[in-house]
Amino acid sequence: MSAATATANPAVDADARIPLRGHLRHTGALIRRNLLWIRQDPESMFDALLMPVVFTLLFVYVFGGSIGQALGGGQGKYVQYVIPGMIAMMSMTLSQGVGTGFSQDFNSGVMDRFRSLPIGRGSVLFAKIAVELGRMLFATAVLMIVSVLVGFHIHHWAGLFAAVGLSALFASSIMWVFLTLGVILKNAQSVQAMGFLVLFPLQFGSSIFAPTKSMPGWLQHFTDYNPLSTLADAARGLMVGGPVAHDLWVTVAWSVAITAVMAPVAIHKFRTKT
């Protein structure tokens, strides 16, 4: 048996001995720990508070007139188009925070303390995801308040909650990617830089901010397979009206596939990190 395997096995065995109820109790305790940390460091919520405000005002008042005319209306037409897309954007942008925070915990020695305790290794990761989903829901609430102030009309309240739930599902899958980056990269700056390289083309090469019909053919092919496009279009259909089924199921499929691949990778990397 190799030294690496011998090191990894105790963690795996410890996880196997902990019952489901124990995992849930550990996850709840770690969620409480993370929430207390946010209370002690309220500046960590500034991105969730300010990002929806800044992005909404920027895109509505800078690009709303011209893109709204292309949509067959004006600024009001663009507001109805972009706000559901921005819910999708929140799910992706704020997901990056789970990776940077995870990396900071490693560098500060917090994770070494957690891994020395008789708790489920997966509980640490699930707690991180739960708290980041809470931050995302807070940002979405801020986004909806600002959007109503700039003229957005909520046509279907049930559709709004469904769109938020779909965004949370997709965000939770993307968080496994950033948790993996938080484990394997050396510091939070590296996670942030890598996240930017992933987020930027996915967000702007999608239907979040503008229709894709005017894009070059090669870029349209990219947007067709971009999960942020299907998420934005599904949210748009649920909240404003329009076709939903295809984009909804494609987004769910992307979420399940990403989680199925990346969750075991993230947990394994966390267990075996030295």
The reported pLDDT for the residue numbered 106 is: 77
pLDDT tens-digit series, residues 21-36: 766 777 888 888 878 8
HSE of 152, CA atoms in CB hemisphere, 13 A: 27
* Residue in the block written with tokens 């005002």: 57
> What's 62's DSSP letter?
I
pLDDT at 216: 85
Evaluate whether residue 9 is within a structural domain.
Answer: no
When the pLDDT of each residue in the chain is averaged and rounded to a whole number, the result is: 84
225 domain residue, yes or no: yes
Residue 181 inside a domain? The answer is: yes
What total number of domains does the chain contain? 1
Least confident of 85-89, 139-143, 192-196: 192-196
Report the C-alpha gap between 241 and 92 in whole angstroms.
23
Closest C-alpha among 262, 14, 48 to residue 143:
48
Which pLDDT belongs to residue 6? 42
In terms of residue numbers, what domain contains 59?
A: 25-272
pLDDT tens profile 139-170 = 999 999 999 999 999 888 999 999 999 999 99
**Is 41 or 23 the better-scoring residue by pLDDT?**
41
Residue 98 lies in a domain: yes
Q: Is residue 93 part of a domain?
A: yes
